[in-house]
Amino acid sequence: MARDQTTLERALLGRGDHHDHAVIARNVGKAFDDHAVLRDFSLEMRPSEFVALLGRSGSGKSTFLRVLGALDTEVDGYVRIPRHRAIVFQDPRLMPWLPVLRNVTLGLPQTREVKEHGLATLAEVGLQDHANAWPRTLSGGEAQRVALARAMVREPQLLLLDEPFGALDALTRIRMHALLRELYRKHRPAVLLVTHDVDEAILLADRVLVLTEGRISLSTKIDLPAPRNRSDPRFAALRRHLLTELGVEPD
Amino acid sequence: MAQLLDPRTTPGPMTVLNTAITMLGSGELQGHLWASLQRVLQGLAIGVSLGVVGALVAGLARWGENLIDANMEILHAVPNFAFLPVLIAWFGIGEEPKVALITLSVWIAIHINTYSAIRNVDASLVEAARTFGVGRRELITAVILPGALPGFLVGLRLALTAAWLALIFAETINAPTGLGRMMSDAREYFRIDVIFVLLGVYALLGLASLAVARFLESWLLSWRRSFDGA
pLDDT tens, residue by residue, A143-177: 999 999 999 999 999 999 999 998 899 999 999 99
Domain with A100, as residue range(s), is: 96-155
A163 and A149 housed in the same domain: no
Distance from CA of A70 to the nearest CA of B (A): 8
Looking at residue B178, what is its pLDDT? 93
Do residue B142 and residue A108 have CB atoms under 8 angstroms apart?
A: no
Please tell me the distance from the alpha carbon of residue A106 to that of residue B73, in angstroms, as a whole number.
35
Residues 6+ apart with CB under 8 A from A73: A1, A4, A5, A8
Q: Which residues of B touch A4 (CB under 8 A)?
A: none
Distance from CA of B91 to the nearest CA of A (A): 42
Q: Is the pLDDT of residue A242 over 70?
A: yes
- Which three-class secondary structure string do you get for chain A? CHHHHHHHHHHHHCCCCCCCCCEEEEEEEEEECCEEEEEEEEEEECCCCEEEEEECCCCCHHHHHHHHCCCCCCCEEEEECCCCEEEECCCCCCCCCCCHHHHHCCCCCCCHHHHHHHHHHHHHCCCHHHCCCCHHHCCHHHHHHHHHHHHHCCCCCEEEEECCCCCCCHHHHHHHHHHHHHHHHHHCCEEEEEECCHHHHHHHCCEEEEEECCEEEEEEECCCCCCCCCCCHHHHHHHHHHHHHCCCCCC
Please tell me the distance from the alpha carbon of residue A25 to that of residue A45, in angstroms, as a whole number.
9
How many distinct structural domains can be found in chain A?
2
Q: Order of strands across the sheet with A158-162?
A: A85-88, A158-162, A190-195, A50-55, A207-212, A215-221
Do residue A71 and residue B127 have CB atoms under 8 angstroms apart?
A: yes
CB contacts under 8 A, B 39-58 vs A, are none
A144 and A218 housed in the same domain: no
A161 and A202 housed in the same domain: yes
* Angle, alpha carbons A36-A76-B61 (nearest 5°): 95
The answer to whether B144 and B116 are in contact (CB under 8 A) is: no
Residue type (1 letter), B108: I
Residue A99, CA atoms < 13 Å, CB-side half-sphere = 13
Q: Is residue B209 part of a domain?
A: no
Q: Is residue B61 part of a domain?
A: yes
pLDDT tens digits along A190-234: 999 999 899 999 999 999 999 988 888 899 999 888 778 888 889
B169 or A112, higher pLDDT: A112
Q: Is residue A105 part of a domain?
A: yes
Looking at residue A228, what is its pLDDT? 84
Residue type (1 letter), B230: A
Q: Is residue B127 part of a domain?
A: yes
Closest listed residue to residue A247, CA positions, set A20, A1, A57: A57
Q: Is residue A250 part of a domain?
A: no
Q: Is residue B190 part of a domain?
A: no
Q: Is the pLDDT of residue A11 over 60?
A: no
The answer to whether A192 and A210 are in contact (CB under 8 A) is: no
Looking at residue A119, what is its pLDDT? 96
Residues 6+ apart with CB under 8 A from A207: A49, A50, A51, A52, A219, A220, A221, A222
Q: Is residue A91 part of a domain?
A: no
Mean pLDDT, range A79-107, rounded to an integer:
94
Q: Is the pLDDT of residue A125 over 80?
A: yes
Domain with B168, as residue range(s), is: 38-178
Please tell me the distance from the alpha carbon of residue A150 to that of residue A98, in angstroms, as a whole number.
13
- What is the phi/psi pair of residue B79, to 5°? -55, 125
pLDDT tens digits along B5-56: 888 888 888 999 999 999 999 999 999 999 999 999 999 999 999 999 999 9
Pick from B132, B135, B223: CB nearest A96: B223
A7 and A78 housed in the same domain: yes
How many distinct structural domains can be found in chain B?
1
Mean pLDDT, range A89-95, rounded to an integer:
95
The answer to whether A40 and A61 are in contact (CB under 8 A) is: no
A164 and A151 housed in the same domain: no
User: What ipTM goes with this model?
Assistant: 0.84
DSSP result, chain B: -TTTS-TTTS--HHHHHHHHHHHHHTTHHHHHHHHHHHHHHHHHHHHHHHHHHHHHHHHH-HHHIIIIIHHHHHHHHS-GGGGHHHHHHHHTTSHHHHHHHHHHHHHHHHHHHHHHHHHTS-HHHHHHHHHTT--HHHIIIIIIHHHHHHHHHHHHHHHHHHHHHHHHHHTTTT-SSSHHHHHHHHHHTT-HHHHHHHHHHHHHHHHHHHHHHHHHHHHHTTT-------
Do residue B223 and residue A2 have CB atoms under 8 angstroms apart?
A: no
A129 and A162 housed in the same domain: no
A29 and A79 housed in the same domain: yes
Looking at residue A19, what is its pLDDT? 63
The answer to whether B93 and B174 are in contact (CB under 8 A) is: yes
The answer to whether A201 and A242 are in contact (CB under 8 A) is: yes
The answer to whether A144 and A152 are in contact (CB under 8 A) is: no
Residue A221 pairs in a beta bridge with: A207
Do residue A134 and residue B142 have CB atoms under 8 angstroms apart?
A: no
Chain A within 8 Å of B127 (Cβ-Cβ)? Answer: yes
Chain A within 8 Å of B137 (Cβ-Cβ)? Answer: no
CB contacts under 8 A, B 87-126 vs A, are 124-125
Looking at residue B3, what is its pLDDT? 66
pLDDT tens digits along A17-33: 456 888 998 888 888 88
Chain A within 8 Å of B138 (Cβ-Cβ)? Answer: yes
- For residue B125, the domain's CATH number is 1.10.3720.10
Please tell me the distance from the alpha carbon of residue B223 to that of residue A97, in angstroms, as a whole number.
5
C-alpha distances in Å from residue A24, one per residue of A21, A50, A75, B162:
7, 14, 14, 60
A164 and A238 housed in the same domain: yes
Residue A195 pairs in a beta bridge with: A54
Percentage of chain A exceeding pLDDT 70: 92
Q: Is residue B185 part of a domain?
A: no
- Residue ranges in chain B whose pLDDT is less than 70: 1-3, 226-230
- pLDDT bracket for residue A14 (50, 70, 90): very low
Looking at residue B215, what is its pLDDT? 94
